[in-house]
Amino acid sequence: MSRGPRPHRALAEAIPIAKARGIVQLVMSGPERIFDIAIISKIPVTFSRVMFAPEILATIQQLAEDFKEEIAQLRIIARDKAITAELWLRSKHGTWRFFLVTPNSLVEIDREGKPVVSGQTLG
């Protein structure tokens, strides 16, 4: 997946989703950017990367392949129970999918950061 420009429409729609979870800090654009939004709440602090996904209904394995660079960058962020990294994907029709990025897996979560019962996990 090519880097391309920031997904401005997705980012604008992601801000209210993020604000529902805590205080939002946006990151300036640049080649060294590894996340777009920091969500500061009691626990956890979340670093989210917002991306446009042309194939939003793809399997988690395909999405992991399509966004492998972004996932690798999110895995650089030191984390524990108080710090998480997430990949937020938006389709051109406004459909969202959210994934918790761990050192060796992706777990589908809801917009509040909770695991989706029927969600997919790649481990």
* pTM for the predicted model, two decimal places: 0.83
Q: Please report whether residue 42 resides in a domain.
A: yes
Query: Considering the domain boundaries, does residue 1 fall inside one?
Result: no
Residue 98 belongs to some domain of the structure: yes
Say if 3 falls within a structural domain.
Answer: no
- Domain membership flag for residue 103: yes
- pLDDT tens series, the chain, 123 aa: 444 445 678 889 999 999 999 999 998 877 788 899 999 987 789 999 999 999 999 999 999 999 999 999 999 998 788 899 999 999 999 999 999 999 999 999 999 999 887 656 665
Domains: count for the chain: 1
Backbone angles phi, psi at 107, to 5 degrees: -125, 125
**Would residue 104 count as lying in a domain?**
yes
In a domain, 2, yes or no: no
33 in any annotated domain: yes
Residue 52 structural domain: 8-122
| Strand 83-90 with 45-52, pairing | parallel
Sorted by sequence, the CB contacts under 8 Å of residue 61 that are 6+ apart come out as 122
Which CATH number belongs to the domain containing residue 34 in this structure?
3.40.1350
